[in-house]
Amino acid sequence: MTRFLTIAFLALASLAAPAVAQDTPGPLRIEITEGVIEPLPFALPQFIAGPGAEDQAADITRVIAADLSGTGLFREIPRDAHISPITSFDSPVQYADWQAINAQALITGSVTIEGGQLVVRFRLFDVFSNEPLGAGLQFVGSPDSWRRMAHNVADNVYERITGESGYFDSRVAFVHEEGPKNARLKRIAIMDYDGANVQYLTDSRSLVLAPRFAPDGQTLLFTSYESGSPRLYTLDLATVSRRPLSDHLNGTMSFAPRFSPDGDRIVFSLEQGGNTDIYLMDVATGMQTQLTEAPSIETAPSFSPDGTQIVFESDRSGSQQIYIMPATGGEARRISQGEGRYGTPVWSPRGDLIAFTNQQSGRFHIGVMRTDGSEERLLTSSFLDEGPTWAPNGRVIMFTRETAGTDGAPAIYSVDISGRNLQRVATPGMASDPAWSPLNN
């Protein structure tokens, strides 16, 4: 992005109290793996505004609250229930007043403008333990980066309470769609994970499909019909310039690309003479290696986070199923064992799960399974759900949901891996093919 942003990340000297040890059992803890039924109540008084920072203080507080509440793990206690107002960032916390309204977590903060820079400070308190949870933190950035600073505060709160990294300071690339179902126009676009700051990266002259992030979050891979037939392009997000990925054999189709975790290789599907197989391309040299060689359809490849294996779909058994093979090719083992057809496998960034699309009895589902196919869980069900993408922390999945009929339209949804907290993600219009970025740098 061209937008200037630096975030200084310092502990406040005045608050150098030791952080609560990670292994201390306390009430202020969410185990995400359990699936949360009762969200943790938190109080978030509006951050104290310095001169001229009133709007930013309100906006930043609002975004932090939306981030936390949006997870389904936290619930904000309305401000009109607060007993003691926070009038100064440094005044002592009246724990009893927050206990009385059953706030388990209290987040306080300030927003000031210092030397043209926006300075955001915050503290997190474990209300029922009568103590801060972790040190106070300060973020410094340009005023137009206020959203990222809010997401950083929320990520810190999430991390301290759940013990897992957050995902709020991240982006989503997707396909923006316009027009009737039989004349759709598509554009690659990017936005913050919460739908803010939408930017269009291609025009609608050429059909484009399925953007995918490079591991550094600075480059997208996508498929475009710009040259007449589908082939792969990279798009530099800083300059919004795209280029075709390599020489392309006429009469063939390249699609379904994804980067390797080190960013040095791209795995993709190449179709020749009606047959689709999986290939690996070295980004630096353009050298291609064929990884599968079968008359069946092999597509939708995705690397394991350690780069040693590739999960993909194939109809070699007679119907679409999910397989894992070494990243160098070779023998593949089938992992999908349930009912129906399985496609679009994506390896979790944590390495533990594969997300997929399942199709059975005329319905589509997004699901997750372990890498050996066990513990399969279908998380969603609709007329058409497809194309999961993982949050950077491997706890939430976004996907495309398309409605049926002549007015059928795609939208982006998110769901957590326990199947809870299904939500529609805000987009300016119809949207499909989400790709969640790594955490922003």
Site of interaction with other proteins (CB under 8 A):
180-184, 207, 209-210, 225, 228-230, 251, 253, 255-256, 269, 271, 273-276, 297, 299-300, 313, 315, 320, 343-344, 357, 359, 362, 383-384, 386-387, 402, 404-406, 408, 433
**Closer by beta carbon to other proteins, 152 or else 321:** 321
Cα of first residue to Cα of last residue in the chain, in angstroms, is 11
**Closer by beta carbon to other proteins, 153 or else 310:** 310
Whole-angstrom Cα distance, residue 307 to residue 319? 27
Report the nearest approach of other proteins to the CB of residue 223 (Å): 8
Whole-angstrom Cα distance, residue 40 to residue 20? 18
Whole-angstrom Cα distance, residue 121 to residue 111? 7
**Closer by beta carbon to other proteins, 28 or else 210:** 210
Whole-angstrom Cα distance, residue 147 to residue 337? 43
Report the nearest approach of other proteins to the CB of residue 301 (Å): 9
**Closer by beta carbon to other proteins, 146 or else 213:** 213
Whole-angstrom Cα distance, residue 315 to residue 324? 13
For the chain, the C-alpha Rg in angstroms (whole number) is 23
Whole-angstrom Cα distance, residue 242 to residue 227? 13
Q: In Å, how far are 214, 258, 288, 299, 432 from 283, measured between CA atoms?
A: 11, 11, 9, 19, 27
Burial class (CB in 10 A: 0-12, 13-18, 19+), 284: exposed
Q: 392: which strand partners?
A: none
Helices (runs of H) and strands (runs of E) counted in the chain: 3, 32
Report the nearest approach of other proteins to the CB of residue 341 (Å): 8
**Closer by beta carbon to other proteins, 207 or else 240:** 207
Report the nearest approach of other proteins to the CB of residue 124 (Å): 42
**Closer by beta carbon to other proteins, 350 or else 363:** 363
Report the nearest approach of other proteins to the CB of residue 100 (Å): 52
Cβ(399)–Cβ(418) under 8 Å? no
**Closer by beta carbon to other proteins, 15 or else 294:** 294
Three-class DSSP category at 123: strand
Report the nearest approach of other proteins to the CB of residue 315 (Å): 8
**Closer by beta carbon to other proteins, 132 or else 301:** 301
**Closer by beta carbon to other proteins, 8 or else 404:** 404
Report the nearest approach of other proteins to the CB of residue 239 (Å): 27
Cβ(299)–Cβ(313) under 8 Å? yes
Q: Residue 111: name the closest of 135, 143, 84 by CA.
A: 143
Report the nearest approach of other proteins to the CB of residue 89 (Å): 50
Whole-angstrom Cα distance, residue 390 to residue 192? 15
Neighbours of 115 (CB within 10 A): 6
Report the nearest approach of other proteins to the CB of residue 73 (Å): 30
